Amino acid sequence: MVGVGGMGSAALYHLARSGLRAVGLEQFSVAHDRGSSHGESRILRLAYFEAPGYVPLARRSLALWHALERESGERLFLATGGIDGGTDDSPIFQGALASCRAHDLAHEVLDGRSLGERYPGFRFPPGHRFVLQSEAGVLHPETCIEAHTRMAEALGAELRCHTRVDGWERDGDGVRIHLVDDDPVRARRLVLTAGPWSRGLLPEGAPRLQVERQVVAWMAPEDPELFEPERFPIFNVDIDGGHHYGFPALHGRGPKVGRFGHLHERTEPDALRRDATAADRALLQGFADHRLRRAGTVESCAPCMFTHSDDTHFVVDRIPGLPVVAACGFSGHGFKFAPAIGEAVARLVADEDPGEPFRTLFRWDRFEGGAGASAPGA
């Protein structure tokens, strides 16, 4: 496996659990802060506005996160409830409502005024509408990755950190994987879970992926009580011309906010701008000033990367004609699904059917020109 981040750690665990001899190659350390899976919090929600087809996967993932909590003894998930909203016709509000209806999820619909009365940290327009769904909350991504990795090793997986993969080629019925600082490795199957670095490792004919710089900000609130997890659910809201999201105060820090897509800056993963600029801070301060109550000033920021597929759905499939499974293009909303993705990767490696939505929504060949591929250098 190349890449032991959010998805790779989960895949390593599920491969080891299924009895396969799995080796994870990671260029940095476990739970590092240079890819897409750092920053102390990730939203998990069932009222999935992107498409109702994700709801069973989110349910399965939540069950698997709880199972991993039991197995590892770590607390990974904190239930806070979640709100998804915007104007009456916003895709976030309408999409979340459609998912609740399609999958019979218990929910309430609130307007901006009643939302503000119940959760006084928010200051959204009275006419906006929100789906409130209780099965939502926050995952701690670094602890999740550490737990998956530790449990994978306990099941016999091998982890090689500080090992950068330079490329790979087909070698008989398997693959030969080239390392930057060591001898090549031969494997019967290759799993690519390289996050924003995926583009450089995928063969010709792969689905297009674009890497985008994101920045999130932690606030230093004037009234910290407003942002306690019991009083401030996770949120996604279409407002002021963008999709904003956020988290309650956790781990001794203030609430965290972000704008999906941020400043729409394309980047290469090794060239990511890692400091926060005045424009980064101004964007997120503006949202907090306008839409949260007494949230104070931006205290710190963290850059991170999204890897978008063209339709914003994931790519998790065997690469046609090659002994390779790819899991990439998580388009800014993948972390919550990591254990279900890991489970599906293990099935794909074993030539088993991963079921829906992998068979349709996440197929490698759903894009024009992505039907087949030849290995680089083969």
Ligand X SMILES: Cc1cc2nc3c(=O)[nH]c(=O)nc-3n(C[C@H](O)[C@H](O)[C@H](O)COP(=O)(O)OP(=O)(O)OC[C@H]3O[C@@H](n4cnc5c(N)ncnc54)[C@H](O)[C@@H]3O)c2cc1C
Residues within the interface to ligand X (CB under 6 A): 2-8, 25-28, 35-37, 39, 42-43, 164-165, 193-197, 214, 216, 258, 304-306, 330, 332-336
Backbone angles phi, psi at 230, to 5 degrees: -75, -20
What six digits make up the tokens of 58? 């989110």
Q: How far apart are CA 310 and CA 300, in angstroms?
A: 31
For ligand X, the closer CB: 190 or 305: 305
Reading the block at residue 90, the tokens are 């916003």
Of the two residues 164 and 294, which places its CB atom closer to ligand X in the complex? 164
Smallest distance from ligand X to CB 113, Å: 27
- Least Å distance, CB 284 to ligand X, is 11
For β-strands 42-45 and 165-171, DSSP reports them as: unpaired
Residue 22 carries which DSSP code? -
Closer by beta carbon to ligand X, 59 or else 294: 59
Q: How far is CA 111 from CA 118, 125, 137, in A?
A: 11, 8, 21
Neighbours of 63 (CB within 10 A): 12
Residue 200 tokens read as: 């450089």
Tell me how far, at minimum, the Cβ of 165 lies from ligand X, in Å. 4
For 261-287, the DSSP string reads TTT-EE--GGG---SPPHHHHHHHHHH
Which lies closer to ligand X via its Cβ, residue 43 or residue 55? 43
Q: How far is 85 from 90, CA to CA, in rounded Å?
A: 7
Considering the complex, state which of residue 111 and residue 260 has its C-beta at the smaller distance from ligand X. Answer: 260
Give min distance, CB of 359 to ligand X, in A.
Answer: 21
Report the distance separating Cα 28 and Cα 38, nearest Å: 13
Distance in Å, CB of 370 to ligand X, minimum: 18
What is the CB neighbour count within 10 angstroms for residue 358?
21
* CB-closest chain residue to ligand X: 5
Residues 6+ apart with CB under 8 A from 274: 303
Alpha-carbon torsion (84, 215, 193, 66), positive or negative: negative
The nearest distance, CB 117 to ligand X, in angstroms, is 26
Residue 165 or 295: which CB sits closer to ligand X?
A: 165
Q: How far is the CB of 127 from ligand X (least distance, A)?
A: 26
Which three-class secondary structure state does DSSP give residue 361?
Answer: coil
Residue 6 C-beta: closest distance to ligand X, Å: 3
- Classified as helix, coil or strand, 9 is helix
User: Shortest Cβ distance from residue 202 to ligand X (Å)?
Assistant: 11
Task: State which residue, 111 or 169, has the beta carbon closest to ligand X.
Answer: 169
Nearer to ligand X by C-beta: 120 or 272? Answer: 272
- Using the minimum distance from each CB to ligand X, give the nearer residue, 133 or 193: 193
Q: How far is CA 92 from CA 66, 84, 291, in A?
A: 27, 6, 17
- By beta-carbon proximity to ligand X, the closer residue of 226 and 345 is 345
The radius of gyration of the chain from alpha carbons, rounded to an integer in Å, stands at 20
Q: How far is CA 343 from CA 8, 243, 354, in A?
A: 11, 30, 8
Q: Measured from the CB of residue 308, what is the shortest distance to ligand X in angstroms?
A: 10
